[in-house]
């Protein structure tokens, strides 16, 4: 029964909560045992102690206050309290040391995602072997560019420690309240529990860019994706890999982005339609239109300003701007709309 209770605690509580529970249980056991022993021993003495008086005496003694209003008057009671004080001096420092060590490790590893927050707020988990500032900033900017994702939290799960740049980024107010960093690996169930993977809305598995061999990087990405699938089979996965032949191994994912396949397809389309790569890049990359505004070249400033424009689906006849071009050729419409 106790073994089953311990396993249930390990699944539902963090390591710090477990240490606090153990410390509290140890204190309760010490106090309870001392109260029962001193009350029983004092039955043979001249001054009997009731339950409240025995509890009061034990608490005052363990807290090293020692008022002296209740004193054991026979040697068995005195010996019992000496034994219990020695036990407390041996057990309690060990428990406090383990609690302090767990706290320091938790601070070092970035803590864990709150279970209460996971039940009341939506979050996604980003699994990455490395935390490059440019990659993470691109992901955060693109993720929060969608208006429906503004209330989501992002949990960064990575075995790498935060460098100075990433620490500065996560301290920016706009990210400090939205992004939670957890040092760990998605190959470990304990780290997935800390990230509340079972309750996440989605999991993004980013490609391992710290490998020179892209095939080896894909193998590591596939293993991480499998580990997440095994731990949380109902969580949608968005996987990024390099080689197109490896898409078969993660076909269970909600969507698989193959970098090489996308790059070669973009180059091929750019050959048949010059400028297609630039158009697609501008459509995919979120911009505020501030790029190149400090340049001396006029076209740099124009390009940067127009890169912040957005594209929407509209019915041509309902548009106030483009409605007059209905029935006209695309060349005519684009030429005159640009002049306008």
240 and 127 co-located in one domain: yes
Structure tokens at 194: 């800390």
Q: Answer yes or no: is pLDDT of 150 > 80.
A: yes
- Residue 332 located in a structural domain: yes
131 and 166 co-located in one domain: yes
254 and 142 co-located in one domain: yes
Residue with tokens 């095994």: 230
136 and 231 co-located in one domain: yes
pLDDT in tens, 197-217: 999 999 999 988 778 888 889
| DSSP for 179-194, written as a single string | EEEEE--TTSHHHHHH
Q: SS3 for 125?
A: strand
Domain that holds residue 327: 313-340
255 and 298 co-located in one domain: no
- The H or E element spanning position 126 is strand 123-127
Q: SS3 for 35?
A: helix
Q: Answer yes or no: is pLDDT of 255 > 70.
A: yes
Q: Answer yes or no: is pLDDT of 109 > 80.
A: no
In this predicted structure, what is the pLDDT of residue 126?
94
**Edge-to-edge strands of the sheet including 236-241?**
179-183, 153-158, 123-127, 202-205, 236-241, 255-258
- Residue 268 located in a structural domain: no
Residue 158: phi and psi, rounded to 5, are -150, 145
**Cα 131 from Cα 209, distance rounded (Å):** 10
- Residue 252 located in a structural domain: yes
What is the C-alpha radius of gyration for the chain, rounded to an integer number of angstroms? Answer: 32
Report the Cα–Cα distance between both ends of the chain, in Å, rounded.
79
88 and 22 co-located in one domain: yes
- Residue 178 located in a structural domain: yes
Q: In DSSP terms, which residues pair with 157 in a beta bridge?
A: 127, 182
Domains in the chain, number: 4
Least confident span in 44-48, 104-108, 189-193, 277-281: 104-108
280 and 330 co-located in one domain: no
277 and 258 co-located in one domain: no
Q: Answer yes or no: is pLDDT of 183 > 70.
A: yes
**Cα 335 from Cα 238, distance rounded (Å):** 40
129 and 257 co-located in one domain: yes
């Amino acid at each position: 029964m106790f073994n089953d209770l311990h396993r249930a605690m390990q699944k539902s509580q963090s390591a710090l909560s477990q240490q606090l529970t153990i410390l509290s249980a140890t204190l309760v056991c010490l106090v309870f045992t001392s109260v029962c022993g001193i009350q029983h021993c004092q039955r043979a003495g001249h001054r009997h102690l009731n339950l409240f008086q025995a509890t009061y005496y034990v608490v005052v003694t363990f807290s090293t206050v020692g008022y002296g209003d209740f004193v054991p008057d026979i040697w068995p009671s005195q010996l019992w309290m000496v034994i219990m004080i020695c036990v407390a001096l041996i057990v309690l420092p060990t428990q406090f040391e383990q609690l302090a060590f767990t706290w320091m490790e938790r601070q070092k590893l970035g803590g864990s995602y709150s279970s209460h927050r996971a039940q009341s707020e939506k979050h996604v988990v980003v699994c990455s072997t490395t935390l490059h500032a440019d990659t993470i900033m691109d992901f955060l900017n693109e993720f929060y560019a969608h208006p429906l994702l503004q209330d989501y939290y992002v949990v960064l799960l990575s075995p790498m420690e935060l460098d100075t740049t990433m620490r500065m980024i996560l301290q920016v107010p706009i990210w400090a309240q939205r992004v939670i960093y957890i040092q760990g690996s998605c190959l470990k169930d304990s780290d997935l529990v800390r990230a509340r993977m079972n309750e996440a809305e989605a999991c993004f598995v980013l490609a391992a860019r710290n490998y020179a061999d892209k095939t080896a990087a894909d193998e590591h990405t596939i293993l991480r994706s499998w580990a997440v699938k095994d731990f949380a089979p109902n969580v949608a996965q968005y996987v990024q890999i390099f080689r197109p032949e490896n898409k078969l191994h993660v076909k269970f994912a909600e969507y698989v982005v193959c970098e090489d396949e996308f790059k070669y397809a973009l180059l091929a389309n750019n050959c048949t339609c010059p400028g297609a790569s630039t158009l697609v890049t501008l459509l995919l990359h979120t911009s505020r239109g501030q790029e190149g505004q400090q340049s001396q070249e006029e076209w740099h400033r124009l390009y940067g300003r127009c890169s912040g424009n957005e594209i929407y689906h509209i019915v041509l006849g309902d548009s106030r701007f483009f409605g007059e071009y209905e029935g006209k050729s695309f060349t005519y419409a684009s030429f005159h709309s640009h002049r306008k």
